[in-house]
Amino acid sequence: MFVAFYTSRVLLRELGINDFGLYGVVGGTVAIFSSLRGLFATATQRFLNFEMGRNNANGLNTIFNISLFINIIICIVFFICAEIIGLWFLENKLIIAPERMDAAKWAFHFSVLASMISILTIPFDALIIAHEKMSFYAYVSILDACLKLGVIFILPYFAIDKLKLYAALIVVVSLVIRFISSVYCKRNFPECKYKFCWDKKTFKEMGTFAGWNFAGNLAFALVNEGLNILLNLFGGVIANAARSIAYQVKNAITTMLSNIMIAVDPQATQLYAQGEKQKFYSLLFTASKIIVFFYLMMAFPLYFYTHEILQIWLGTIPKYAPDFIQAILIYLMIRSFHGPIDAFFLTIGKLKTYQVTELLILSLSLPISYLALKYYDFPLYVVFYIMSIIEFINLLLILKWAIKIGGFDLKQYFYQVIFPCLYTFICASSILYSIQFYIHSQKITNINCIIISIIIQFIIFMPITFFIGFSSKERAVIKSVVKKKKTRR
C-alpha cells in the first residue's frame, strides 16, 4: 500500500498532471482487473476447496484446467468488446487533446493486453489461495508494487513518449507476475498440470458460476470506469487526474480489506462443505468486523486530515482531489460491509439473483450521475455520493436475498457485526473528531504536529476497538494469539 502511494507521487511528477489523468481514463482497465483479480480467483478457489474437502486429486486437476479454459473464453470476449466498443468511445466521445490521441490509443491497447494477462493469472491465484499459501501471495503482491515503481524510475532514461512507454512496461510487469505465479504453482501443486479435461457437468456448473460472478463484478467495474468517463466529459483530464489520486487511496484500502477475506475464504468454504454452519457464520461475522475496524483505522485520519496528507504525499494537491477522496471514503464505509456478504454467496454457490441485483442496482449510478451533472450543475464530487447511496440500497437488497436464498442469519449478523461496529464508530468518531477540531481551531499547520496527531488517533482507536468492538470471547482469542507470539519470540 505504501509503495503504491509513493508510486503515485513519482508517476504524477514524471507524466505530468495531464498525462496522469489521461492514463487514468484510458488505462483504467488495468486497475479494474487488478482489483477484481482476487474476487475472480476466490470464485475458482471455492470449487478447489470443495474438492480438497473430498480428497479428490483428479477433481482438483479437472477444476484447474476447466477454470483456465473458462478464463481464456472470458479473455477473448473481453478483447473483442474492448477493442470494438472501447476504442470507438475513446476516439469519438472522450475529451482528449488531438495531439495526445495517438498516445491515448497506445495506452488503451496496452491496457487491454495487461488486463488479459491479469485474467489468465486468475487460475494460479486461485490455487495459491486454496492452498492458503498467503506468504507467497504477499511476496508477489509486494513484488508487483515494487516493479511498477521501478518502471516509473526508468522512464526518464528513454527518449520515448513517457505515456506510451509506461503503458508498455506495465504489460511487461503483468507478464513477469504471470510467469512467477505459474512456475510456483507447477512446482508446488501436483494438480497444476495442463491437459484437456472435459466434464460437461463441471464445466456447466463452473461456467454458470463464473459467468454470473463475472457479470456482477464487471458491472461494479464498469460503473467505476463509467463515472471516470463522466468526469472526463464534464471536467476534462484534470478531473481524471484527481479521480486517479482518489482511486489510488480506494484501491489500496480495498486491496488490503479484500486480502483479509482472501485469507478467510478457504476455511469458510471448507467449514460450509463439512456442514459446520455455526462455525462458518462465526468466522464470516468476525472477519466482517475486522474488515470494518481496519477500514475505520485508515479512514479516520484520511478523512480528517485530507489536505495535510495530500501535501505530504504528493507535494502539489491536484484540483478536486481532496473532495473526491472524502467522498470516496464515505462510499468505502458502506462497501466495507460488502465483502463477507460476497463470500457468503460465493460459498453457497447461488449467484444468479444476487449478481443480477448487483448488475441492475449498481448500474443506476451512471444515469443518475449524468443527469445530476448535466441538468442540475452539481459539483463533480457528487457522483461519488450518488454511488454511495446506490451502494447502500444494493447492500440492503443483497442482504434480503441472502436471507431468502441462503438462510442468512440476519439477527446474529446485527448483534455480532452491525451493533459493535456502530458503537465503535460513534465512540471513536466523537473522540477523534474532537482532536481534529482542536488541531484545526488552533490553526496548527506544522507537519510534525499533524503526524503526531494521526499517531495519537491510531493509539486511541485501538483500545476503543478492542473493548467495544470485540466480544469477551473474541478478546480472549486475541490475547491468546498475542501470548503465543510472545512465547515464540
Q: What is the pLDDT of residue 327?
A: 93
Q: What is the pLDDT of residue 31?
A: 58
Q: What is the pLDDT of residue 176?
A: 94
Q: What is the pLDDT of residue 180?
A: 93
Give the angle subtended at the CA of 166 by the CAs of 161 and 168, to the nearest 5°. Answer: 100
Confidence of residue 42 (pLDDT cuts 50, 70, 90): low
Confidence of residue 333 (pLDDT cuts 50, 70, 90): very high
- Tens digits of residue pLDDT in 256-291: 887 787 778 778 877 887 778 888 888 888 888 989
* Residues of the chain by 3-state class (helix, strand, coil), percent to 5: 85, 0, 15
The per-residue DSSP string of 321-384 comes to HHHHHHHHHHHHHHHTTHHHHHHHHHHHT--HHHHHHHHHHHTTHHHHHHHHHHHS---TTHHH
Query: 166 and 12 in contact (C-beta within 8 Å)?
Result: no
Give the angle subtended at the CA of 65 by the CAs of 220 and 133, to the nearest 5°. Answer: 70
Average pLDDT over residues 197-223: 72
- CA gap 20, 11 in Å, rounded: 7
Q: What is the pLDDT of residue 332?
A: 92
Rounded to two decimals, the pTM is 0.76
Closest to 168 in 3D by CA, of 227, 118, 112: 112
- Tens digits of residue pLDDT in 212-228: 776 667 677 777 778 88
Confidence of residue 486 (pLDDT cuts 50, 70, 90): low
Closest to 337 in 3D by CA, of 293, 403, 292: 292
- Tens digits of residue pLDDT in 122-136: 888 888 878 878 888
Confidence of residue 346 (pLDDT cuts 50, 70, 90): confident
* pLDDT above 80 for 243: yes
Average pLDDT over residues 466-481: 84
- CA gap 444, 446 in Å, rounded: 6
For CA atoms 18, 22, 25, 28, the dihedral sign is: negative
Q: What is the pLDDT of residue 369?
A: 93
* pLDDT above 70 for 251: yes
Cell representation of residue 348:
453457497
* pLDDT above 90 for 328: yes
Average pLDDT over residues 371-397: 91
The pLDDT mean for the chain works out to: 82
- CA gap 273, 276 in Å, rounded: 8
- CA gap 349, 273 in Å, rounded: 11
Confidence of residue 368 (pLDDT cuts 50, 70, 90): very high
12 vs 327 pLDDT, higher one: 327
Helix (H) or strand (E) holding 107, with range, is helix 101-120
* pLDDT above 80 for 55: no
* pLDDT above 80 for 330: yes
> CA neighbours within 13 Å on the CB side: how many for 161?
16
| Distances in whole angstroms, Cα of residue 400 to Cα of each of 221, 269, 284, 353, 354 | 23, 22, 17, 11, 10
Query: 427 and 468 in contact (C-beta within 8 Å)?
Result: yes
Q: 10-24, 126-140, 385-399 — which one is most confidently predicted on average?
A: 385-399
